[in-house]
Amino acid sequence: MATIAPTSVQSKPTTSSQSKPTIPKGELIDGREKHAHLQTAVDPIKPVYLTMSSFTSKSNSAKKAVALDPTVFDHPIRRDILHLCVVHHLDSLRQGTASTKTRAEVAGSRRKIRPQKGTGRARLGDRQSPMLRGGGVAFGPKPRDFSTKLNRKVIQMGMRVALTMKLREQRLGVLQRINWWSHKTATLSSRLDGLGWRTGTLFVTGESEVPARMRLASRNLRGIECRTVADLVVYDIVKWRRVVLDLAAVNALERAFGKGLLAISDSERVVSDVTHSSVEVGAST
């Protein structure tokens, strides 16, 4: 390791006005290059690899891995962001149509039931009193809007966090294409049983609509649902036990929620050798 030779001590004391000696470029100070302590090394962004699944083949001899954008599928986990997105979606589902009648809206006579004094009984007004049966409701519900506001960037972060959570839990799968060769439910059910995806599986496609045979074969299966990326929300990823995407869905999610720091081409999306530290979704999930 190169070091700097010690300099001789000058007999003449140095003053504060004298300039400090410069260090030639390339020399080291305590084993570090000049100004190295001022420079922050930026590691290149590397994709995350996930073992691809297959609908048609049960053999694990020829595995392939799919490269994923780490800005979308390797985001820091934020439970608070997931909670905000889930509450925001559930609030939007509330109809808010509950309505009751107040004493001013109940039909009937406004005549006082009995005199104020002299009967020895409690004082009463008209028949619309909330204390009487058939009267109005005090402080009852009225039609209202339960939807809440949430910033778009918070929802986008929630989608990244949800996808990352599924990937780390090994509950995220990727297929070449979400399609089935038959419209029969029994054939698809048998194949899903073999994969361990029979219950709690959400299939997401990046196409404009779910393939017809896949939609027909899965619509009668309880615990199986198919939808497009356009209809996908954070609540769906959190709700379903397992999420299976196709390559078109991966591309659509990275275009919508990626930060543009890593561009993965179609030729680099799928790699043949699984030498990377990839994870696989299987029957155990």
Each residue of 234-259: pLDDT tens digit? Answer: 999 999 999 999 999 999 999 999 98
For the chain, give the mean pLDDT. 84
Residue that the structure tokens 């000696």 belong to: 21
The residues that bridge with 205 in the sheet, in sequence order, are 228
d(Cα 4, Cα 30) in Å, to the nearest integer? Answer: 9
The pLDDT tens digits for 96-139 are 999 999 999 999 999 999 999 999 999 999 999 999 999 999 99
Please list the residues that pair with 65 across neighbouring strands: 51, 271
User: Can you point out the beta strands (E) in 181-247?
Assistant: 201-205, 224-228, 242-246
Global confidence as pTM: 0.77
**Tokens encoding 36:** 């190295």
Q: pLDDT value at position 282?
A: 52
Per DSSP bridges, beta strands 32-33 and 28-29 are antiparallel
**CA 218/CA 178 separation, integer angstroms:** 12
DSSP assignment of 241-256: SEEEEEHHHHHHHHHH
Does residue 19 register a pLDDT over 90? no
State whether residue 36 is helix, strand or coil.
Answer: helix
The conformation of residue 279, written as its DSSP 8-state character, comes to B
CA distances to 55, 225, 228, 246, 281 from 220, in Å? 19, 9, 18, 21, 24
Domains of the chain: 48-95+152-271 (3.40.1370.10)
pLDDT tier, 275 (very low <50, low <70, confident <90, very high otherwise): low
Residues pairing with 32 in the sheet: 29
